[in-house]
Amino acid sequence: MPGFPRTDDEFKKGESAATITLRDAIHSEFVKFLEVVWEVLEHVSELFFRYALGVCGDGGKDLTNG
């Protein structure tokens, strides 16, 4: 995680401070990306169920519109 002190083990593996910092930055951005994807999926699923409730008109009990 960015901002956490590094252990000697990471430096013993031959990784420079720049490599570790770059890896942390990439990890941080990837986590942000996944959070955005998750939020989009939540909104899409909410829209789908609102649509299904509106189409069915019976509280969403029958999603086949029958």
In DSSP notation, the chain reads -TTSPPPHHHHHTT--HHHHHHHHHHHHHHHHHHHHHHHHHHHHHHHHHHHHHHHH-STTS-TT--
Q: What is the pLDDT of residues 24-61, one digit of tens each?
A: 999 999 999 999 999 999 999 988 888 877 766 655 55
Q: What is the pLDDT of residues 14-30, one digit of tens each?
A: 778 888 888 899 999 99
Q: How deeply is 29 buried, as exposed, middle or buried, from its count of CB atoms within 10 A (0-12, 13-18, 19+)?
A: exposed
Please determine, for residue 3, whether its predicted confidence score (pLDDT) is greater than 90: no
CA dist., res. 64 & res. 53, Å (int): 11
Residue bearing the bigger pLDDT, 2 or 54 = 54
